[in-house]
Amino acid sequence: MNKKKSGDKGGTGLRAPTSLFLRKQSLDTALRELGIIRMSKQYLSRGSADNAHIFDIFSLAITDKQILSVSGASSIKVHSTTDADFPLVQSIDGAHTIGCHHIAINGNGSRAITAGFDGEIKAWSCEDGHWTADRKLTGADAWAIAISEDGQYLAGVTQEGRINVWDLSADGTRIRDHETRGNFGTCIDLSPDGRLIASGHEDGAVYIFSTETGRMPISLLGLVNPVRAVAFSPRSKILAAAGDSKVIVLYDTSSGEQIANLSGHSAWILSLSWSDTGEYLLSSSFDGKVKVWSMETKACVATHSETDKAVWSAKWLPKVGRTEGFATAGANRSIAFYREATG
């Protein structure tokens, strides 16, 4: 009758004698209150923007008050996250005629960059919550994109696996061009401290570049199968990478060592997102599952499966008071919102 104290909710507890069960519950509660262990967390559905797009939503980006989404349709949709029913506040129609696959937003939410299926990269700027077209980055070649915290630099990885960096303050000129041995670049991230760029590739390779020197300070042991998401932790100390191997690998960004392997997904992992504090990592997969992982226990603390269709993007929302929440979107074309259950 020795039961595990971590892991998902709804384990084998119900088969135990009632007295034991109750005792375990109160013990867990006590331990949790004392901060000794962290058990499963509960996130409740807080509504959704149903059929926000008429095609698959491929990417989400978050500001303090808004969530921007791009899809196989031509428009960028802006929904408010401050209202309880997440109303549509702006639709930027005709942004990318044949659809858009990536969107990235800087730290203060003043600049967004989108990458369309037509190969075009466009910049958008925001004033008082209203977005307008800024410019087109003519000749810029990138599949996946990431923007620096201050919005000055744009990093992109191409279909051939090259990594480019553009300075958006200086007429969008390309300031770096890194060669990798990797092939198709599926994902990219810029570290919040601005010092590192990480890219994930179809052949499983994961690369880290220094933005200052343009060199690879460390080499990482990549994954076996295609990598589809890379994400730096808020303090830039950890890089998370995941993809078709169904495992999330955590790397120490100073040594390149693998810190942990988080396994639990049973389908390809499509996106990763760190919570503000770096305590939790969010992941979404091809079978519609979304998981929250505790960095303290390196274990899955919550699993959601509202849909059986691919969740292309999952992102933490800004903290409201002390509660955290996240948004998910994908092949079911709606944006779903979740908040941590309190009390």
Partner 1 sequence: MAEPTIHNLEIDGGPDPSVQQFIDNTLAALVNELSRSPAEANISITLKRRASPIACIVNPTTGALEASPRIDTYRKYSWPGKTAYEAWKFTVILRILAILDQVIRTGQLISKRDIYYIDPEFFRMQYIVDGIVDDLAYTIGVNRTALNVEAAAKGLVTGDFRLIRGSHILIDAHPCPQAVFHRLARISYHTRALAGEGIMVTVSCVSDLAYAGKGYPDFMTRTFLRAMSDSASKQSRRPPRFYALTDGDPHGMAIMSTYKYGSAANLHQNARLSIPRLQWLGLRVSDIIAVPEVLGDTALLSLTMRDRKKIMAMLRNSPVWASDGPEPEWRAELQRMLVLNLKAEIEILYGCQGGLEGWINRRMFRQE
Binding site for partner 1 (CB under 8 A): 54-56, 58, 72-74, 97-99, 101, 117-119, 159, 183-184, 186, 202, 226, 244, 267-268, 286-287, 310, 312, 331
- Least separation in angstroms between CB 58 and partner 1: 6
Cα separations in angstroms, 14 against 1, 18, 36: 12, 8, 24
For the chain, the residue count is 343
- Least separation in angstroms between CB 226 and partner 1: 8
Nearer to partner 1, 299 or 310 (CB): 310
Nearer to partner 1, 172 or 226 (CB): 226
Please check whether residue 124 is in contact with residue 111, taking contact to mean a CB–CB distance below 8 angstroms: yes
DSSP 251-290: EETTT--EEEEEE--SS-EEEEEE-TTSSEEEEEETTS-E
Question: In angstroms, how far is CA 271 from the centroid of its own chain?
Answer: 5
Nearer to partner 1, 96 or 291 (CB): 96
Nearer to partner 1, 73 or 238 (CB): 73
- Least separation in angstroms between CB 333 and partner 1: 9
Q: Cα(14)–Cα(78) distance, rounded to whole angstroms?
A: 44
Start-end of H helices in the chain: 18-33
- Least separation in angstroms between CB 281 and partner 1: 22
Give me the amino acid identity at 45.
S
- Least separation in angstroms between CB 73 and partner 1: 5
Nearer to partner 1, 39 or 227 (CB): 227
